[in-house]
Amino acid sequence: MPDLCGQLLSEENQKNGPKVTGPFMTLYHDCEYREKDATMECVAPITGRIALSDPAMEVRILPGGKVLSLIHKGSYNKLHEAWSRIGAYAEEKEYVPNGLHREVYLNDPNIVSEEELLTGLQIPVDTAAQKNDCS
C-alpha cells in the first residue's frame, strides 16, 4: 500500500490530478487462505490520468458482477475467521467462485481504533453454476 500511495502522490500525478474514487482494497489470487506467501494485489480505484513509474504496477478495470459479501468489524488479525465464515456460507449455498477474492478497507486504521475497523470481504460468485474448483 505504501508503494501504491507513493505512485498516486508522485509529483507528476499531483500535476495530472487523478482522483481516488473509493476505498482501497486487496485482491487475492490464491484459492485458499495463506498465512505466508500469499499472492495478492493492492488496489486503489481511480479516475483520471495517472503516470506509473513502477513497471510492476498497472492500471486496469476490475470486472463487476455478483459477489457474496460480508462486513467484518474489528481487528485485521481476525479476518481469517471472517473468511472462514463467508467461505463456509458459499460452500453451503454451492456458490461457485468466479473471480479474485477481495478485501475492501472501509475506514482508515490511522483514524479509527482497531475494534472499529470495517473490512468488506467479497467473493465474486456464479450462483447458477455447479461447484467444481476455485477459479
Q: What does the block give as the cell for 33?
A: 487462505
CA angle 38, 43, 49 (to 5 degrees): 150
Domain that residue 75 falls in:
2-126
| 87 half-sphere exposure, CB direction, 13 A CA radius | 12
Q: What is the pLDDT, as a whole number, of residue 36?
A: 82
Q: Does residue 100 belong to any structural domain of this protein?
A: yes
Predicted local confidence at residue 37, as pLDDT: 86
Question: 21 near 51, Cβ under 8 Å?
Answer: no
In DSSP terms, 28 is beta-bridged to 40, 101
pLDDT one digit per residue (tens) for the chain, 135 residues: 888 888 888 999 889 888 999 999 999 998 777 778 888 999 999 999 898 988 889 999 888 899 999 999 999 999 999 999 999 999 999 999 999 999 999 999 999 999 999 999 999 998 776 555 554
Query: Residue 27: inside a domain, yes or no?
Result: yes
Q: Residue 104 domain-assigned?
A: yes
Write down the pLDDT at residue 92.
94
| 88 within some domain | yes
Q: Residue 134 has what pLDDT?
A: 54
When divided into structural domains, the chain yields a total of 1
Q: Report the CATH number that the domain containing residue 17 is assigned in CATH.
A: 3.20.80.10
What is the predicted pLDDT for the residue at 132? Answer: 52
Residue 58 lies in a domain: yes
pLDDT at residue 135, as a whole number: 47
Q: What is the pTM of this model?
A: 0.84
70 — alpha (psi -120 to 50), left (phi > 0) or beta?
A: beta
Q: What is the DSSP-derived secondary structure letter of residue 93? A: T
Q: Evaluate whether residue 87 is within a structural domain.
A: yes
Establish if 131 belongs to a structural domain.
no
* 24: in domain: yes
